Structure 1
Amino acid sequence: MTGLHLTEQQWSQASGGFAHAGLGLRSCARHALAAYLASFGASLDGCRELGPQFNAADVLASPEVLAALEAFNAQLPPAQRLTVAAALALKLSQLLDQAAWDTLAPATPSERAVLRSEAGLGARAFLAALPSGRTRMEKASFVAELRFRLGLPDAAEDTWCPKCDAVLDRFSHHAASASCVAGASMQVGAAAESYARHKEDHLGTAAACQAQGVQFAPMVVETTGHWEAGASRTLNQIAGAVAARTGAEPGPLHDSLLQELSVVVRSFRARAALRRRAELET
């Protein structure tokens, strides 16, 4: 459907959850053991109700359960391996996502910056949006954003940007670049945080507003759709105010707002990248 050809590492990222910069495309082979152990643990109480003679301890010590646990633990770092009791009480797929995320971390600063930004709540909202109305994305833009999220290059090598006298890198980071890559590679939302503080300090705007009894709230979003913390709180307040006025639930309203904004931001970034590539071909 997308025409994307992924490497093994990119498939690993795609199989992760949205919160780990993935696409939620679960690998049956990777998550089968987690599903087996989770289902097994969830059925124990029902088994006790059906049969008073049911002995959970004997079942938990069975070769099948122990073999499944051993194979599952082999996918985790040694320090995170679990006992049977712990495995049945935890959300195992999240542990696999975290383990895969940790293997993605040793990358270049720009790659780490994209990964951390993509893990943000607003950055992944476009993936949960219904492709209809204000949350519909053009196919080319959607595929371009999948490429950006998974780190697929748009070209074989770097070239000159047709819009300015600068290098257009093969991943098209230039079309949505930030000057604080080092910080963004270490902390989620660092680029948005840095620019929000710049907006507050510029011409003493925040201080001038405060002197007049007004709170200055810069609305800063990264090109992935990840919002600065203060802006994120403002969006929550907007959703809450609309919910109070309409009687709707604030949670779904906030989700819809994030999805609409995510589609707008990511469509703009995708068009900026696609426009540059198209001009290079003419």
Structure 2
Amino acid sequence: MPTLQFIRATSPGCELTVAARGEGLALAQRLPEVARTLSLESGTFAKLFFASSLFTTEEEQLFLSADEIFSWFGHAQPEVHAALRSLGVRRVGSFSFFSGQESLHAVAYYLRCVGGTELLCPSLALGHEDKKWLETYWRQRGWAARSRLLLLHPGSGGKKKRWDAEGFAHIARWWAARNNVQVLILLGPAEEQEAAHWRLLGDVESALSVWQAVALLSRSDLYVGNDSGVSHLAGAVGARGVVIFGPTQPQQWRPLGGALSVLRNLQYRGEHPDDAGIALTEISVDEVIAALSHLGA
């Protein structure tokens, strides 16, 4: 998002088109900086990978209409560059995806690709329809208008970055002991099979759209999660809470924005670099509660 915001701010009057897939596409479709979105799943982009591909007139015009293309798609495939050159694209910047190959934040890396030199925080704002959906959701749950919400995201797309499930359970029970509070657990596709376990601790959602997740994050009073995409969304909407790191580097991957405290046990991780997951001996429940309390919980 900061990359798109930078391009839009430094190129007044430009019409920014974003080609993406999955949740990235869904997110881009509602960003005010973006004039048009295209799916990377379409056959048009697949053709770039084959030297013998024939493009329709409409497809050729799509690429020729661009004054400049920034691409992280197919960077290692020479066929992609050759196809774009053959189509007559004037200016193409091609870059590898960030995977921790440099000791800087991922956002700083992507901004540098497009000429940015200052780190920018992502920012997401709800539209009218998102706000209406949130009001309806709150009402259908039967939650009081002034209920305080703890939102937990115990997943991370991979077990190696996940804090011990019992830690999240302790935090849920700690919060539930208060008056007028709710606990909501967001699960991703990799955690859907765990839904029954998490329902013992609060309400569970596992099939939300990215913008529905954004809406709930914006309404949360506290957030606790791992190094994950959801945690980055939490930062973008200004959430308060804690993000727990284990094997990954916060200086490269921490969420920007909001009031999110990062917890990482550097000494433990140095002594146990190959540990899969984040044990309670690495990051304790007391540490997380202390960090939440410091935020005014």
Fold shared by both chains (TM-score > 0.5): no
Greater strand proportion: 2
Q: Please tell me whether Structure 1 or Structure 2 has the larger radius of gyration of its CA atoms.
A: 1
Higher relative contact order (CA 8 A, sep 6+): 1
